[in-house]
Amino acid sequence: MFKKPQLFILLIVATCSNYLVQAQQMVTIPIETAKNSLVLQTDKDNRLGIVHFGKKLIKTADNAIIAQEFRYNDSNAGIYNSPYTPSGTWSLVEPAIQITHADGNNSLELKYVSHQTVKIDDNVTQTNILLKDPAYPVEVTLCYKVYAKENVIEQWSLIKHQEKKNILMQKYASANMYFSADNYVLHHYHGGWGEEMKPEETLLTAGIKTLDSKLGTRANLFQPPTFMLSFDRQATEDEGKVMLGTLAWSGNFKIDFEMDSYHNLRVLAGINPHASEYSLAPNQEFKTPSFISTFSENGKGEASRNMHNWARKYRILDGEGSRLTLLNNWEATYFDFDEQKLTGLFKDGKKLGVDLFLLDDGWFANKYPRNGDVAGLGDWQENRKKLPNGIGYLMKEATKAGIKFGIWVEPEMVNPKSELYEQHKDWVIREPERPEHYFRNQLPLDLSNPEVQDFVFGVLDNLFTKNPDLAFIKWDCNAVTYNAHSMYLLKQGLPQTHLYVEYVKGLYKVLERIRAKFPKVPMMLCSGGGGRVDYEALKYFTEFWLSDNTDPLERVFIQWENSYFYPAIAHCNHITDWSKVGLKYRTDVAMMGKMGYDIVVSQLTEKELKFSQKALENYKRINPVIWKGDLYRLQNPWDKPFASLVFSNENQDHAVMFNYLTTNRFDTGYNPTPIKLKGLSPNKKYSVKEINLFPGTTSSLKSDLVYSGDYLMNIGINPELSGRRSSVILELNEVK
Ligand code: DGJ
């Protein structure tokens, strides 16, 4: 992304060790992945600026030659391109950090002091850059962790001071980036319950475009902190410059896209400063959440594969491991079950062929039984009427039936109709002087309070201690945070504006403790659907629930958009009865991730049961490709009424292609032209076989042909989608 190349020879060579630099010397700091680089450089006033972002520059590191690529007058340089823009001095643009000093002064200047790069291993390095205010003892360390092979940069900031009293931080972003391009196209998301991840595409214009959440606990309900930014023109799957970005924070966020008067773009991402002024004590270090990004010159497909590779290897709990298929009782029973019904379902699950039975909401509370969503949350004792013999008995029965057992919890929440609420009103987030306002008849507990953290940890700890064979947890979180007020912070004399931040930190402390004691148990992150997923939470969870919406005609789109950011191994997809679409289509769509069932197995016809059993067998065979392979999106369902995707393994000798008609308009064939595959080896030969055929149907494709990878990628194959063949899965195997 060069505009006006100018060369500078540096007075010192900025290799990677600790520097203390005198004024006037320019320092260049390259942050480099295998393909890309972000280059920072000091100016004559020793302020740090971003001077390059994009394709890796040749010899940036050793020769320290840099290019000035942004559009502005030299007199303005440094005002716009700061990697952490302070407020109250020379910069009048959107700041990354805004503070009030202990003496009431509002100004902040940040000058370069030193930097250090540490090699963590052959692939990962971390560069820390220390900036200080020359007039006040305030410092910011910018941290850039680079995952070279995956082309991912994780960045965060550490803020600290040695003033006599606390400073007040009004804004404390995680990332402050700077780009230069002809145009910027932002792909972002909005939605709500059952309609998560609806994409929006916007050509950014002068001014500020903000993505944010002020919802607290279920922060991503209306939009996630996740976006794609194309440079010059809208990137496609295989072409164009594009950055994928996401904030790893399970709470309020704010991401600003500010186009400056020179048509350069500033992007600021971090915790939402809304109602969150933070009072920082001397020598206390404030660590912002991580902002995670990847850049590609070759379109969204490569960028998303970068993200998947990184997430599986470095972030998602057990990201390169295995997953359990399951039968969940939620849509089959809702709150209406007893021991007999459940033990019957265990047998059904076994008959179906899944690994685990997941008992959902409704198993707990006695004084105010959890027979609906109006009561019981917080009282985590087995309901004696429904489960007189407790969870232990259910676990034994499940083992007898030959199936593992998992359970649902929503430990951060309380119904006012509960014993917990009666005993610990002070643990609840509520305004003591105002009427309570509910979301799904419930309120969040105050996780800034260490006693509440102990309680929430205790819910899980008790379950595991009493039932060591418990094999799975579904962790739900259904309410947003209204009336954000904490009795704990009040009693501690701490500002209420800490609540949103301390809540999330408290949640992470609990999850940290759970993982220290129970490192491996798979846990699903759920938030009344996909209301909460992010890459900090996924350190503790093996998978997440994308949406309560399991209608495959809509789900294809939800999964499609999620697939840019999160690998299939983390997508929990369940086959449910929420749809008029046939069982085959529902099953095929669920297979593109971690498959589960939420149906009444006993109501399946003989053919449906046989189909499902065979589908589970197929899934066991192909899931390594889906969970660990590379994903290539072949046809975007927003552009044409069908979706087509292929997963291919590392050796490119096994691939699975999914094709779905996304409309009911066509009775006969829709797509007359073949679909070109990707991710195969041109020189290899492949057999192509249709799988997951419904009993009694046959494939219209010839199964005895052998194709070259070259043919499949340049001419393609026609899955022959039609109203009668609305979902087609093709399995490709190398023929030797
Ligand atoms: C919301 C979740 O998204 C559902 O799957 C289910 O677990 C219910 N909560 C239970 O209350």
Let me know: does 19 contact 27? Beta carbons within 8 Å: yes
pLDDT band at 60 (very low <50, low <70, confident <90, very high): low
Chain segment 106-141, per-residue pLDDT in tens: 999 999 999 999 999 999 999 999 999 999 999 999
What is the C-alpha to C-alpha distance for residues 387 and 397, in angstroms, rounded to an integer?
12
Chain segment 299-327, per-residue pLDDT in tens: 999 999 999 999 999 999 999 999 999 99
Query: What distance in angstroms lies between residue 346's CA and the mean position of ligand 1's atoms?
Result: 20
**What are the residues whose beta carbons fall under 8 Å from the beta carbon of 52, sequence distance 6 or more?**
1, 37, 38, 39, 60, 66, 67, 69
Query: What distance in angstroms lies between residue 361's CA and the mean position of ligand 1's atoms?
Result: 7
**For residue 552, what is the enclosing H or E element?**
helix 552-562
Instruction: Write the burial class of residue 681 (CB in 10 Å: 0-12 exposed, 13-18 middle, 19+ buried).
Output: middle
Let me know: does 136 contact 88? Beta carbons within 8 Å: no
Residue 11: what pLDDT? 30
Instruction: Write the burial class of residue 704 (CB in 10 Å: 0-12 exposed, 13-18 middle, 19+ buried).
Output: exposed
For residues 697-719, average pLDDT = 95
- pTM surpassing 0.75? yes
Residue 723: what pLDDT? 86
Query: What distance in angstroms lies between residue 438's CA and the mean position of ligand 1's atoms?
Result: 17
Query: What distance in angstroms lies between residue 655's CA and the mean position of ligand 1's atoms?
Result: 33
Atom of ligand 1 nearest to the CA of 474: 7
Give the CA-trace dihedral at 653, 714, 561, 627, to 10 degrees: 0
For residues 478-497, average pLDDT = 98
Residue 435: what pLDDT? 98
Atom of ligand 1 nearest to the CA of 529: 3
Atom of ligand 1 nearest to the CA of 598: 5
What is the C-alpha to C-alpha distance for residues 238 and 435, in angstroms, rounded to an integer?
54
Query: What distance in angstroms lies between residue 474's CA and the mean position of ligand 1's atoms?
Result: 9
What is the C-alpha to C-alpha distance for residues 108 and 140, in angstroms, rounded to an integer?
11
Query: What distance in angstroms lies between residue 421's CA and the mean position of ligand 1's atoms?
Result: 21
Atom of ligand 1 nearest to the CA of 408: 7
pLDDT band at 531 (very low <50, low <70, confident <90, very high): confident
Could you tell me the sign of the dihedral formed by the alpha carbons of 84, 88, 89, 91, in that order? positive
pLDDT band at 262 (very low <50, low <70, confident <90, very high): confident
- Tell whether the model's pLDDT for residue 276 goes beyond 70: yes
Residue 692: what pLDDT? 98
Task: Give the single-character DSSP code of 688.
Answer: E
Atom 1 of ligand 1, residue of closest alpha carbon? 528
**What are the residues whose beta carbons fall under 8 Å from the beta carbon of 686, sequence distance 6 or more?**
655, 680, 706, 707, 708, 709, 712, 732, 733, 734, 735
Q: What is the mean pLDDT of the chain?
A: 93
- Tell whether the model's pLDDT for residue 67 goes beyond 90: no
Ligand 1: residue of 326, 333, 337, 360 to mutate (most ligand atoms within 8 A of CB) is 360
Q: Which long-range contacts (CB under 8 A, 24 or more apart) does 201-210 make?
A: 201/234, 204/257, 204/259, 204/265, 205/259, 206/259, 206/261, 207/258, 207/259, 208/94, 208/256, 208/257, 208/258, 209/256, 209/257, 210/254, 210/255, 210/256, 210/257
- Lowest mean pLDDT, pick from 22-36, 409-423, 591-605: 22-36
- Tell whether the model's pLDDT for residue 70 goes beyond 70: no
What is the C-alpha to C-alpha distance for residues 639 and 671, in angstroms, rounded to an integer?
13
Ligand 1: residue of 478, 555, 574 to mutate (most ligand atoms within 8 A of CB) is 478
Ligand 1: residue of 333, 361, 370 to mutate (most ligand atoms within 8 A of CB) is 361
Query: What distance in angstroms lies between residue 507's CA and the mean position of ligand 1's atoms?
Result: 20
Residue 417 dihedral angles phi and psi, to the nearest 5°: -90, 80
Could you tell me the sign of the dihedral formed by the alpha carbons of 298, 299, 302, 308, in that order? positive
Atom 11 of ligand 1, residue of closest alpha carbon? 361
- Tell whether the model's pLDDT for residue 72 goes beyond 70: no
54-58, 432-436, 718-722 — which one is most confidently predicted on average? 432-436
Query: What distance in angstroms lies between residue 82's CA and the mean position of ligand 1's atoms?
Result: 44
For residues 185-205, average pLDDT = 97
Query: What distance in angstroms lies between residue 411's CA and the mean position of ligand 1's atoms?
Result: 13
Ligand 1: residue of 196, 217, 358, 408 to mutate (most ligand atoms within 8 A of CB) is 408
Query: What distance in angstroms lies between residue 435's CA and the mean position of ligand 1's atoms?
Result: 26
- Tell whether the model's pLDDT for residue 16 goes beyond 50: no
| Three-state secondary structure call for residue 33 | coil
Atom 10 of ligand 1, residue of closest alpha carbon? 361
For residues 15-29, average pLDDT = 54
Atom 4 of ligand 1, residue of closest alpha carbon? 528
| Amino acid present at 51 | V
For residues 516-528, average pLDDT = 97
Residues flanking ligand 1, CB < 6 Å? 330, 360-361, 408, 476, 478, 526, 528-529, 545, 548
- Tell whether the model's pLDDT for residue 63 goes beyond 70: no
Residue 44: what pLDDT? 86
Query: What distance in angstroms lies between residue 377's CA and the mean position of ligand 1's atoms?
Result: 13
pLDDT band at 29 (very low <50, low <70, confident <90, very high): very high
Residue whose token pair is 């790069």: 117
- Tell whether the model's pLDDT for residue 234 goes beyond 70: yes
Residue 397 dihedral angles phi and psi, to the nearest 5°: -65, -40
Query: What distance in angstroms lies between residue 450's CA and the mean position of ligand 1's atoms?
Result: 27
- Tell whether the model's pLDDT for residue 64 goes beyond 70: no
Ligand 1: residue of 364, 413, 442, 526 to mutate (most ligand atoms within 8 A of CB) is 526
Strand 326-328 with 290-296, pairing: unpaired
What is the C-alpha to C-alpha distance for residues 272 and 289, in angstroms, rounded to an integer?
11
Q: What's the token pair of residue 646?
A: 């292929």
| Amino acid present at 147 | Y
Atom of ligand 1 nearest to the CA of 526: 3
CA-based max dimension of the chain: 81
Residue 20: what pLDDT? 38
Tell me how long the chain is: 736
Let me know: does 558 contact 589? Beta carbons within 8 Å: no
Atom of ligand 1 nearest to the CA of 527: 3
Chain segment 650-703, per-residue pLDDT in tens: 999 999 999 999 987 776 666 678 999 999 999 999 999 999 999 999 999 998
Chain-centroid distance, C-alpha 325: 21
Strand 278-280 with 443-444, pairing: unpaired
- Tell whether the model's pLDDT for residue 74 goes beyond 70: no
**For residue 246, what is the enclosing H or E element?**
strand 241-248
Among candidate residues 521, 428, 418, 420, the one with its CA nearest the CA of residue 468? 521
Could you tell me the sign of the dihedral formed by the alpha carbons of 719, 609, 473, 213, in that order? positive
Atom 3 of ligand 1, residue of closest alpha carbon? 528
Query: What distance in angstroms lies between residue 478's CA and the mean position of ligand 1's atoms?
Result: 8
**For residue 270, what is the enclosing H or E element?**
strand 264-271
Better pLDDT: 561 or 91:
561
Q: What's the token pair of residue 648?
A: 């291919």
Residue whose token pair is 């552009």: 639
For residues 158-163, average pLDDT = 98
For residues 465-476, average pLDDT = 97
Residue 500: what pLDDT? 98
What is the C-alpha to C-alpha distance for residues 482 and 438, in angstroms, rounded to an integer?
7
- Tell whether the model's pLDDT for residue 17 goes beyond 80: no
Chain-centroid distance, C-alpha 158: 23
Query: What distance in angstroms lies between residue 349's CA and the mean position of ligand 1's atoms?
Result: 20
